[in-house]
Structure 1
Amino acid sequence: MLLSMVAGACQSGPPEVQGGPPPVPVELQTVQSSTVLETSEFVGALEAEDRVVLRPEADGRVVEIFVRPGDVVQARTPILQLRADRSRAEVSGAIANLEAAQSSRNTAVARLRAAEADADRAAADVSLAESDYRRIELLVSAGALSRQELDRARNRRDTAIASRRAAEENVRAAEASLRETESQIARAQANRNIAVEDLQDRQVISPIAGVVGNIPVKVGDLVTLSTTLTSIIQNSTLDLNIAVPIERSRQLRVGLPVELLDEQGKPALRGRISFVAPEVSSGEQSVLAKASFTNDGSLRDGQLVRTRVVWSSQPGLLVPTAAITRIAGQTFVYIAEQPEVNPDQPTPPNGQSGQPPMQVARQRLVQLGDIQGNSYRVISGLQPGEQVVVSGVLNLTEGTPIMSAQAMAQ
């Protein structure tokens, strides 16, 4: 504390002072040096660290709701189910079509292998017929065989070549058939994936961990792609958005302390500026600043809060607001001073009068700065160590005898 309390409650009446009015019981505080803050108050809006609005990815009727507002859920948690009878049938049909296409592919593979085997045999037959033809041609040239045998060999060779061509055509046809079945499989897989995705779209899941917000729909409602089902809010950490006037932009910087204030205007949570926008809001002529706060459970996404930015801190003096009086637009305090000693008055033995110490109130003009809590910053008019009156001020005038209420009670 900047000022130490030195007085208590009055428990007995003030003693009479010889030749003058009785002293007024007051409470005093000693002015002490302390840290003075330069601050500005704003109204800011809290924003959740992560917030997702859930909408359906397909039109349908709500058949089941798995959670309640306020539930804490993990990522991939089912939130709501839409009617999926038709989607399940489409998935079953797509799977059956895919299985049929895969069976056709297996058949096409078997046909291709058979055609390739026939082509290999036909090629071997051509090779053998060609060899026989050349051998018989040599024998005919030598006169060992008749011309008729050569004609038969040529015929066998031509027949084998034709069979090989037919086998090669069968291979190409089997390959084309296989490619077609593979295309059918690809289409069937795509249709199956679409059907599965459509079925999955009928179940709404949470993409993040967080707290479930309000659920405005109920079982039986028909929803569309534009219907808001609920929201998932991750508010363990909240960002505070503050619009700082352009006049303060030169002082605004990352790292400045920021305080969230409670209903009495006292700091409840403390954070620091984490972001300063590089541009100015043209409409409001302000600069957006953000500060992050760990949520203690009392804060909500979208909540408006009182906040205070601490621009600087420096040594200085504070005086309680209760000590201030205002006259003609000026501010004053009463300080306690020792009364002037009358040299004609005899001094009690050992300096003891039997009465509590008495002082007088002196009015002092002070210049004040910003208010800080329940005190004003003192710019001029007071010095450390001086005692100011903080209670009973309305009963005082310049030179009024005063006495500490605590001293009177002794």
Structure 2
Amino acid sequence: MKKWFFFMVILALLLFGSVIGFNLFKQQKVAEYMANMPEPTHPVTAVTVNAEPWTPTMDAIGFVEPNQGITLTTQIAGVVDVINFESGQTVKRGQNLVELDSSVEKANLASTQARLPAAEAKFKRYQGLFTKGSISKEALDEAEANYRSLQADINALEATIARRNLQAPFDGVIGLRNVFMGEYLQPGTDIARLEDTSVMKLRFTVPQTDISKLRLSQALRITVDAYPEKEFIGSISAIEPAVNSQSGLIKVEANIPNNDGQLRSGMFARADIVLPTVENQIVIDQTAINFNLYGESVYVIREEDGEKRAYQQVLKVGERRGHQARIIDGLKPGDQVVTSGQVRLSNGSKVKIVDNDALTPPEQLPQL
């Protein structure tokens, strides 16, 4: 029994020893292979940075508004008698749009106008008789009061009839019609929307710390979601004289020509306020910048003993616009920066510069 147990222990030790020995042998061979393995060369694309002008911008957001815009309505109640416009029509200032039934007022006006000539003739006749001493001053005053009263009644009736005719207060485009012939309208009823869209306005706010960067007639580049590929050029037309004491913001208004009629009121817009151009700035593509918890960096290629190696360089990045970024500190003109392939790199990696347009979007995307 004891011999059998001793034999099993010896067998187990031999088995475990062989496994451990094999693993040690394997690790030694792998280490030798890795030590003798040539250093890998990573293909990358690169660009040499140069100093160039940079036009900084200040971002803002707001909503597009018309030059003038109102909701057409009536001042008094009445039945719609005439409608002189169609939905979406361009109208001129003073054009009659809606006329309410005013047959009663017109009849009263005609009656009053019919009595006016007799009252005027009587007043003039009494003036002649009074100069001759044939009538009293009281009779003359009564004739004059009757004549003046009829004139006032005529003016009042004409004003009442005019108030029952809705006219366009300015040139513009009228929206969808919300009333119909024969409909009884109450004061304040929404008839249609009228807007002057020849010039649109954009109102936005900026921090009070940026007031010194703003001036009248300063250019803006404006984009809206409806036309993402198009830029509308506007200019600052007004700056609020007071800063909001609670938010520290100041309101700014800009004019945007709308010759093509593409802009509509209520659109959400993004504005880039164009600031003075700064010369001799380092600008690189944002794809070259690496982002991590410790900051932003790029890989700069340096020549060492006839080989190209990439070294990580920490950056201080300023404004960004589109796919470009302005570098405040960390690069100088002539530096060669890796633009793609940096995912595989570490500090001091050996690299090979290749031509690769994989990051360039195709002219036409494939159809699914």
The alignment's TM-score, normalised by the length of structure 2, stands at 0.75
Partner of 1:91: 109
Deviation at 1:255, TM superposition (A): 4.3
Matches within 5 A, 1:60-139: 60-105=78-123, 108=126, 112=129, 116=132
Deviation at 1:306, TM superposition (A): 1.2
Larger deviation: 60-69 or 391-400? 391-400
Instruction: Kindly indicate whether the alpha-carbon contact (under 8 Å) linking 2:44 and 2:351 is maintained by their aligned counterparts in 1.
Output: no
Partner of 1:218: 180
What is the aligned counterpart of 1:404 among 329, 354, 362? 354
CA offsets 1:265-288 (integer angstroms, 9 cap, x no match): 777123332322121224433111
Partner of 2:19: none
What is the aligned counterpart of 2:317 among 368, 374, 383? 368
Instruction: Kindly indicate whether the alpha-carbon contact (under 8 Å) linking 2:78 and 2:184 is maintained by their aligned counterparts in 1.
Output: yes
Distance 1:34 1:262 in 2: 29
Q: 1:284 to 1:90 in 2, by over 3 A?
A: farther
What is the aligned counterpart of 2:339 among 383, 387, 390? 390
Partner of 2:262: 298
SS in structure 2 at match of 1:280: coil
Partner of 2:4: none
CA offsets 1:53-99 (integer angstroms, 9 cap, x no match): 43323221223321123211111111111111212211112212223
Partner of 1:321: 286
Deviation at 1:304, TM superposition (A): 2.8
SS in structure 2 at match of 1:271: strand
Larger deviation: 289-298 or 329-338? 329-338
Partner of 1:9: none
Residue 64 of structure 2 corresponds to residue 46 of structure 1: yes
Residue 163 of structure 2 corresponds to residue 201 of structure 1: yes
Instruction: Kindly indicate whether the alpha-carbon contact (under 8 Å) linking 1:265 and 1:373 is maintained by their aligned counterparts in 2.
Output: no
1:395 maps to a residue whose letter is R
CA offsets 1:89-141 (integer angstroms, 9 cap, x no match): 1111221222332343465467x29x94xxxxxxxxxxxxxxxxxxxxxxxxx
Matches within 5 A, 1:158-197: 168=133, 171-173=134-136, 177-197=139-159
Partner of 2:234: 271
CA offsets 1:134-175 (integer angstroms, 9 cap, x no match): xxxxxxxxxxxxxxxxxxxxxxxxxxxxxxxxxx4xx234x6
Larger radius of gyration: 1
Distance 2:196 2:213 in 1: 32
SS in structure 2 at match of 1:225: coil
Distance 1:73 1:281 in 2: 39
CA offsets 1:225-275 (integer angstroms, 9 cap, x no match): 333333321121122211112333344443443221344977712333232
CA offsets 1:188-225 (integer angstroms, 9 cap, x no match): 11111111121122110112111113433333332233
SS in structure 1 at match of 2:277: strand
1:260 maps to a residue whose letter is I
2:162 maps to a residue whose letter is Q
Matches within 5 A, 1:148-167: none
SS in structure 1 at match of 2:316: strand
Q: 1:265 to 1:25 in 2, by over 3 A?
A: farther
Distance 1:246 1:266 in 2: 31
Partner of 1:6: none
Larger deviation: 33-42 or 184-193? 33-42
Distance 2:175 2:245 in 1: 33
Q: 1:23 to 1:265 in 2, by over 3 A?
A: farther
Matches within 5 A, 1:239-388: 239-263=201-225, 268-295=231-258, 296-315=260-279, 316-341=281-306, 359-388=308-337
Aligned length: 317
Q: 1:360 to 1:73 in 2, by over 3 A?
A: same
SS in structure 1 at match of 2:255: strand
Deviation at 1:46, TM superposition (A): 2.5
Deviation at 1:33, TM superposition (A): 1.6
Instruction: Kindly indicate whether the alpha-carbon contact (under 8 Å) linking 1:240 and 1:290 is maintained by their aligned counterparts in 2.
Output: yes
Instruction: Kindly indicate whether the alpha-carbon contact (under 8 Å) linking 1:98 and 1:192 is maintained by their aligned counterparts in 2.
Output: no
Q: 1:327 to 1:302 in 2, by over 3 A?
A: closer
Partner of 1:230: 192
Q: Higher relative contact order at CA 8 Å, sep ≥6: structure 1 or structure 2? A: 1
Unpaired runs of 5+ residues, structure 2, are 1-36, 358-368
Instruction: Kindly indicate whether the alpha-carbon contact (under 8 Å) linking 1:23 and 1:403 is maintained by their aligned counterparts in 2.
Output: no
Distance 2:233 2:183 in 1: 45
Deviation at 1:29, TM superposition (A): 2.3
What is the aligned counterpart of 2:49 among 6, 14, 31? 31
Distance 1:196 1:215 in 2: 27
Larger deviation: 240-249 or 197-206? 240-249
Percent identity of equivalent pairs: 24
Partner of 1:13: none
CA offsets 1:369-406 (integer angstroms, 9 cap, x no match): 22122122111221223222222222333323212226
Instruction: Kindly indicate whether the alpha-carbon contact (under 8 Å) linking 1:77 and 1:205 is maintained by their aligned counterparts in 2.
Output: yes
SS in structure 1 at match of 2:117: helix
